[in-house]
């Protein structure tokens, strides 16, 4: 168990990577505030878990909720941004509303959360902002125009934010996973191959988050890229 107990906000905590992160942090004795669109998907009796239901595509609700969250949890000293989703296809296959929604959920909402919470985090002796990006932030790919754009935007945002926070107590980190074996692929036309070497596990990302949180206060882990041992894509029939 960790000697330093943190109060951490985890977005997208009801499933996939966010759920794995929340579970790991709870096991380590931290207090976790977990947001999701449907809190019924992640039920736990753990005393240190505090669910909050919110849809980050509704930006008009985000700021007021975060103001209340800061008042309710004054010890909040870190955020792990794992909410997001994927949709792939040629640009003309997206409606205008679909483009706006993906950019909102995968990027703009995260900028809003950061803007709302960073003044308070800068007043803490030590705090973390950890963003879950994607390998799609490293190289554009066919049928990934909108998704890649949202992840490229997030990567550029974190790079600039890290410079802005350089003289403060806030450490900004980005994790870019390759394919992870989660329900992310449920509605997509492809998925990782069948072998265990073809995909990361959500727990791999959670372990990386812990690694960043446990690192020395005297260093900043800028960016970590994670990939399965073998990249194999399987297309659904």
> How far is the C-alpha of 105 from the C-alpha of 84, rounded, in Å?
6
In the predicted structure, residue 41 carries a pLDDT above the cut 80:
no
Q: What is the pLDDT of residue 3?
A: 62
Task: Write out pLDDT tens, residues 137-184.
Answer: 999 998 999 999 999 999 999 999 999 999 999 999 999 999 898 887
Q: Confidence band (pLDDT; 50, 70, 90) for 40?
A: confident
pLDDT (average), residues 196-206: 94
Q: Which residue has the higher pLDDT, 25 or 194?
A: 25
Share of the chain residues as helix, strand and coil, in percent rounded to the nearest 5: 45, 20, 40
Instruction: Tell me the whole-structure pTM to 2 decimals.
Output: 0.93
Number of C-alpha atoms within 13 angstroms, CB side, residue 125?
4
pLDDT tens string 48-91: 999 999 888 888 888 889 999 999 999 999 999 999 888 899 99
What DSSP string runs through 35-49? EES-GGGS----TTE
> In whole numbers, what is the pLDDT of the chain averaged over residues?
92
d(CA 86, CA 187): 9
Residue 1 is predicted with a pLDDT of 45
pLDDT of 195 strictly over 60: yes
pLDDT at 120 over 90: yes
Angle at 168 between CA 163 and CA 171, to 5 degrees: 65
Domains and CATH numbers, the chain: 7-235 (3.40.50.720)
Mean pLDDT of the region 93-116: 96
Give the closest residue to 170 by CA, choosing from 57, 33, 77, 94: 77
Strand-pair category, 233-235 with 190-192: antiparallel
If DSSP codes are grouped into helix, strand and coil, which group holds residue 186? coil
């Amino acid at each position: 168990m960790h000697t330093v107990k943190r109060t951490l906000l985890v977005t997208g905590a009801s499933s996939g990577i966010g759920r794995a992160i929340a579970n790991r942090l709870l096991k380590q004795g931290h207090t976790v505030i977990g947001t999701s669109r449907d809190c019924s998907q992640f039920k736990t009796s753990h005393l240190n878990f505090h669910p909050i239901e919110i849809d980050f595509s509704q930006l008009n609700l985000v700021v007021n909720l975060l103001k209340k969250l800061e008042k309710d949890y004054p010890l909040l000293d870190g955020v792990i941004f794992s909410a997001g989703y994927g949709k792939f296809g040629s640009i003309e296959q997206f409606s205008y509303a679909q483009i706006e929604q993906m950019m909102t959920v995968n990027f703009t909402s995260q900028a809003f959360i950061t803007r709302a919470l960073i003044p308070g985090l800068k007043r803490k002796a030590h705090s973390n902002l950890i963003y879950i990006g994607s390998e799609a932030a490293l190289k554009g790919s066919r049928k990934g125009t909108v998704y890649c754009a949202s992840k490229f935007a997030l990567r550029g945002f974190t790079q600039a934010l890290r410079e802005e926070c350089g003289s403060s107590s806030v450490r900004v980190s980005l994790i870019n996973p390759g394919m992870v074996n989660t329900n992310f692929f449920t509605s997509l036309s492809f998925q990782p191959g069948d072998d265990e070497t073809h995909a990361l596990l959500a727990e791999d990302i959670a372990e990386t988050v812990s690694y960043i949180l446990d690192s020395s206060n005297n260093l900043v882990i800028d960016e970590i890229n994670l990939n399965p041992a073998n990249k194999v894509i399987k297309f659904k029939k």
